[in-house]
């Protein structure tokens, strides 16, 4: 049974992932409906600590994930990409290691009030005007796909929903902010808010472009492309045919 000492050991095992941006995934359906993976995907893990019988994972933007292990829950750390046994509740992938949580049974997100974090995409309703203002405060050459992952500008959009929202709004992730109208920025944010809210409510839409490089675009049949973007080199996915205007560093 996981007691405090076991939680402290788990916290210690997770330390090598602190400071890294993680890719998050919830293979287990009970965990997937919580929307936890989407909310922490792409965020930097800032601290892991055991508090009482909880493991607290603190992410940038004031996002705190609480994991309570009850009787059977467990965290372990292994090399990234090792074979998956069963269906973990949560996988957090770093550069070389990944943290795996199995058997839940409690994963909850809490949001600390942090001034530097941008408006929450999952607020009801999301403050789109404030998000547009913050995006407009950026260097006009900054690509919109990169800016959307900056939690100081908009909190809560991970790499998957970034790609899917841009595709739905027909905006290329490579377009410089200067080249995207307020209306288009707003449509991207509206799509992101809708997709994330639907995912949290358990009605997840199929992915059109995320991790579908080389396959045909479901809208126009063009070939979906992928390329690392921004400081974190997160992979952007887009259809150059129906998301025109900026095809990445090569311009091809
Ligand atoms: Zn297309």
How does pLDDT run across 48-60, given as a tens digit for each residue? 988 767 788 999 8
Residue 252 in this model has a pLDDT that exceeds 50: no
- Per-residue exposure over 9-43, b if at least 16 CB sit within 10 Å of its own CB, e if not: ebbebbeebeebbbbbbbebeebbebbbbbbbbbb
Residue 173 or 203, more confident: 173
- CA 42 to centroid of ligand 1, rounded, Å: 25
- CA 237 to centroid of ligand 1, rounded, Å: 11
- CA 167 to centroid of ligand 1, rounded, Å: 8
- CA 43 to centroid of ligand 1, rounded, Å: 28
- CA 145 to centroid of ligand 1, rounded, Å: 17
- CA 35 to centroid of ligand 1, rounded, Å: 27
- CA 185 to centroid of ligand 1, rounded, Å: 19
Q: Which of 16-20, 32-36, 69-73 has the highest mean pLDDT?
A: 16-20
Reduced to 3 states (helix: H, G, I; strand: E, B; else coil), residue 72 is: coil
pLDDT of residue 2: 47
Tens-place pLDDT, residues 238-248 = 999 999 887 56
For residue 110, what is the DSSP state?
Answer: E
Residue 153 in this model has a pLDDT that exceeds 50: yes
pLDDT of residue 47: 92
Residue 113 or 140, more confident: 140
Residue 200 or 223, more confident: 223
Q: Share the mean pLDDT of the chain.
A: 88
Tens-place pLDDT, residues 66-78 = 898 887 888 999 9
- CA 238 to centroid of ligand 1, rounded, Å: 8
What is the C-alpha separation between 31 and 234, in angstroms, rounded? 24
- pLDDT confidence bin for 209, thresholds 50/70/90: very high
What is the C-alpha separation between 131 and 129, in angstroms, rounded? 5
- CA 217 to centroid of ligand 1, rounded, Å: 5
- pLDDT confidence bin for 4, thresholds 50/70/90: low
Count the residues in the chain. 252
- CA 207 to centroid of ligand 1, rounded, Å: 13
Residue 235 or 4, more confident: 235
User: Which pTM does this prediction carry?
Assistant: 0.57
Rounded to whole angstroms, what are the CA distances from 192 to 9, 120, 166, 187? 37, 11, 8, 9
The pocket of ion ligand 1, defined by CB under 5 A, consists of 217, 219-220, 222, 239, 241-242
- CA 224 to centroid of ligand 1, rounded, Å: 7
- CA 235 to centroid of ligand 1, rounded, Å: 18
Contacting residues for 221 by C-beta, under 8 A, at least 6 apart: 241
Residue 249 or 107, more confident: 107
pLDDT of residue 222: 96
């Amino acid at each position: 049974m996981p007691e405090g000492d076991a939680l402290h050991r788990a916290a210690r095992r997770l330390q090598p992932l602190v400071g890294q941006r993680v890719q998050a995934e919830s293979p287990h359906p009970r965990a997937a409906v919580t929307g936890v993976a989407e909310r922490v995907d792409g965020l930097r893990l800032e601290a892991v600590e055991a508090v009482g019988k909880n493991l607290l994972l603190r992410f940038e933007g004031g996002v705190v994930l609480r994991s309570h292990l009850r009787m059977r829950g467990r965290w372990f750390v292994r090399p990234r990409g090792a074979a998956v046994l069963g269906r973990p509740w949560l996988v957090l992938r770093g550069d070389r290691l990944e943290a795996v949580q199995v058997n839940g049974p409690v994963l909850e997100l809490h949001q600390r009030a942090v001034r530097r974090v941008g408006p929450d995409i999952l607020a009801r309703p999301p403050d789109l005007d404030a998000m547009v203002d913050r995006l407009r405060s950026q260097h006009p050459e900054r690509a919109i796909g990169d800016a959307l992952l900056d939690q100081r500008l908009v909190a809560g959009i991970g790499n998957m929903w970034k790609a899917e929202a841009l595709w739905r709004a027909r905006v290329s992730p490579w377009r410089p902010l200067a080249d995207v109208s307020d209306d288009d920025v707003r449509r991207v944010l509206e799509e992101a808010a809708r997709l994330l809210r639907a995912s949290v409510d358990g009605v997840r839409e199929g992915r059109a472009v995320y991790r579908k490089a080389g396959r045909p675009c479901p809208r126009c049949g063009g070939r979906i492309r992928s390329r690392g973007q921004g400081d974190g080199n997160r992979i952007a996915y887009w259809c150059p045919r129906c998301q025109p205007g900026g095809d990445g560093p090569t311009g091809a």
